[in-house]
Structures are given as C-alpha cells and as structure tokens.
Amino acid sequence: MDTKRWYANDFQQDKQVAIQSAAELLKAGETVAFPTETVYGLGADATNKAAISKIFQAKGRPQDNPLIVHVATPQQLKELVTSIPNYVDKLLEAFTPGPITFVLPSNGRCAENVTAGLDSVGVRLPGHPIALKLLQEAAVPVAAPSANLSGKPSPTSADHVWSDLNGRIAGVLDGGATGVGLESTVLDCTQAIPIILRPGGITKEQLEEVVGTVMIDPGLANEKERPKSPGMKYRHYSPDAPLWLVEGPSEKLQQVIDEEMKKGHRVGVMAASKTVAAIEADLKKDLGANMETVAAALYDALRMFNEHDVDLILCEAFSEQGIGQAVMNRLKKAASDYIK
C-alpha cells in the first residue's frame, strides 16, 4: 500500500487541505495516523468493523485489546454510552479536551471489534488542534490506538510512525512532535468511584482535586492480579536491547555501568540531566531536567537506542509522584530487570 504523508504544521499553507484529505480517507474506511497531545494515533471509523480490522492488521495488535474512541465534543461521547456518572461531567469540564480516557458502559454504536467484546467503551477528547479538526471533519467517532507496531515504543513523531507503518496504512498527518509524550490516563467510570486502569497524562493527584477519592486498579501494582484494562497485561514499549532500571544515587548507576563494560558490553544510559552529567557510559541520552521532559523524551530515547548498537540500556528509576507514576509504569513494562 502506498502511504500518503501530509505535512500539517502551522506554517503549512495547505494544512486544511491535508486534514480534509485525511478525513475523507477515514470516512472511506481507511486508516490514517494523526498527532494527538499524547502520542500519534492510528485512526479508523469506529462504526465500521472492516475499517477497524485494518488497524489490528497494520499494528499486529492482539484482538482482545480494545481501542480508545476519539471524539470532538462531550455530546459525541454521550452518543456512544448508556449512562454517565456525575463525576464524569466534572472531569470533562476540568480536563477535556485533554489526555484522559473515560471507560463507560457502551450502547453498542461502535463496531464490536473496537471494544473487543467488552460491554464498556473507552472514549477520549484529544486536545491537539490537528486531532480535533480531523475529528470535526470526519464527523464519525474515530478509534485510534497508538500508531506503532504492537510491542514497540509509542510514536511521538511522524518519523516514528513512518518507520513502523509506512506501506501498511493509508496516510500520516505530520504535525511535528507530540506534547505529553505518554498515553492518556485510562479511567474506569463504570463504578461509583473512578479507578485508574492506566496512569497517564492526567495524574491521580489532579483527578483527586476534582472528584475526591480515585482508586488504582490493583492489577497495576500487583503482578499476580489480572489488570482490568486488557492492554496492560502485555509487555510493551520494548527497545531491542534489554533495559534495566536502576534505583539509587548516580554512584550506584556508575558501578553497574562499569561492571557491564568490563564484561565487554556496550552500555547505553538514559537519565535526567543531573544524573547524565555525573556518569560515564558508551552512549548517554539526556531526558531533560524534570519529569515533564522525561515523559516527553522517553519513547524517542527508547527508539534511539535501537538505532545504535548497544548490548544493554540502563535507566535511572524515578519517583512515582505526579507524571512520574506514568513514566515508571511504562519503564517497568519495558524493563527486564529492576536493580534496587
């Protein structure tokens, strides 16, 4: 398949034409990747079963992993579900459009392969202007998982999408780098108290400020429990070389690096600026000065190591406060070892 690539940055004069062309393909039952404020999504008409199967095929995604449906307005969200608790209205007001997905009882309007046979549906209103414009133009709910090959780090640029999916999808809207850099927070809103199924762009602390108590799915913390969000049981975000998380001061990280280098291994390290400045390794990736920059740089860093010949990647363990919770959730899924 010939994959189209439209440039839709603000400086581009024919941005509207690009978005309209992408929307036409979506309406015709094709798959199109587009930027959101979290990561790039691979979209298809959520009401069209054949179009949705093309997403699973292009990504090599397991069929039992449901897709998040993207809409432009709260009204469109309401058209996909049977009921909405009051607290969701508050969260819609406070955080949308933005990086949060609401899991609600489905009314069956979405194709059955969107929800993987569950009686709930995950819906989100993305905050990225190109995503919103595309959804308005397409005028259908658009199911869109991350636009990467299943198992690979999520794409935070159109180049990442291109390297995974060129030839497998109808088109890519190139809107430059994404913002948050990690996927949305997935919130189960089918109970009296909301439950975080996947930590993400909106933190637990932010949610609690608006609705009081928020729970965390026990399956997230405990390996033995089955996570309620089907996608969380898969190993994810993996670079090609093994990744180890290392907790503690930079001296300890340096010790692990030295031991591995002595064995003849080429060692890559990713860490925040302060730690990067304090250590020596074969290849260093600076994730920036704070947790926001770490989140935004994380997937690009994992992909960067794939392009360099390293035997092992070491990453410093971060504090699980605020967006740090989502960062550590992704790192633990990518890592094969955690040195404490």
Q: Does 122 bind ligand AMP (CB under 6 A)?
A: yes
Q: What span, in angstroms and rounded, lies between the C-alpha atoms of 67 and 64?
A: 10
Residues paired with 143 in a beta bridge: 44, 69
Residue 115 vs 146, nearer CB to Mg ion: 146
Amino acid making up residue 31: T
DSSP state of 256: H
Q: Choose the binding region for ligand AMP from 45-53, 167-175, 227-235, 268-276 (rule: CB under 6 A).
A: 227-235
Query: What's the burial of 337, exposed, middle or buried (CB within 10 Å: 0-12/13-18/19+)?
Result: exposed
Residue 128 partner contact from ligand AMP, Mg ion, none using kind-dependent CB cut-offs of 5 to 8 Å? none
Residue 115 partner contact from ligand AMP, Mg ion, none using kind-dependent CB cut-offs of 5 to 8 Å? ligand AMP
Q: What span, in angstroms and rounded, lies between the C-alpha atoms of 43 and 88?
A: 24
Show the binding pattern over residues 185-224: x = contacts ligand AMP (CB under 6 A), - = does not: -x----------xx--------------------------
Q: What span, in angstroms and rounded, lies between the C-alpha atoms of 153 and 335?
A: 12
Helix extents (H) in 144-290: 158-165, 204-211, 218-221, 250-262, 273-278
Q: Does 65 bind ligand AMP (CB under 6 A)?
A: yes
Residue 36 vs 250, nearer CB to Mg ion: 36
User: Closest distance between ligand AMP and the C-beta of residue 66, in Å?
Assistant: 4
Q: Does 183 bind ligand AMP (CB under 6 A)?
A: yes
Find all residues with CB under 8 Å of 36, minimum gap 6, and list them.
70, 126, 127, 128, 131, 144, 178
- 323: tokens are 């967006």
Q: What span, in angstroms and rounded, lies between the C-alpha atoms of 333 and 150?
A: 14
Unique residue bearing structure tokens 């024919």: 14
User: Closest distance between Mg ion and the C-beta of residue 238, in Å?
Assistant: 12
Q: Does 103 bind ligand AMP (CB under 6 A)?
A: yes
38 assigned to a ligand binding site: yes
User: Closest distance between Mg ion and the C-beta of residue 10, in Å?
Assistant: 27
In degrees, rounded to 5, the angle at the alpha carbon of residue 215 between the alpha carbons of residues 211 and 220 is: 140
CA dihedral of residues 31, 105, 84, 89 (deg, nearest 10): -40
Residues paired with 81 in a beta bridge: 106
Residue 63 vs 290, nearer CB to ligand AMP: 63
Q: Does 146 bind ligand AMP (CB under 6 A)?
A: yes
Residue 229 partner contact from Mg ion, ligand AMP, none using kind-dependent CB cut-offs of 5 to 8 Å? ligand AMP
Give the binding-site size for ligand AMP (rule: CB under 6 A).
19
User: Closest distance between ligand AMP and the C-beta of residue 322, in Å?
Assistant: 20
Q: Is residue 126 helix, strand or coil?
A: coil
Give the binding-site size for Mg ion (rule: CB under 5 A).
1
Unique residue bearing structure tokens 């897709």: 67
Please give the residues from 129 up to 188 whose contact with Mg ion meets the rule CB under 5 A. Answer: 146
Residue 146 vs 250, nearer CB to Mg ion: 146
What is the binding site for ligand AMP (CB under 6 A)? 65-66, 68, 103, 115, 118, 120-122, 145-146, 183, 186, 197-198, 229-232
What is the binding site for Mg ion (CB under 5 A)? 146
Residues of the binding site: 38, 61, 65, 70, 124, 144, 146, 154, 184, 198, 237
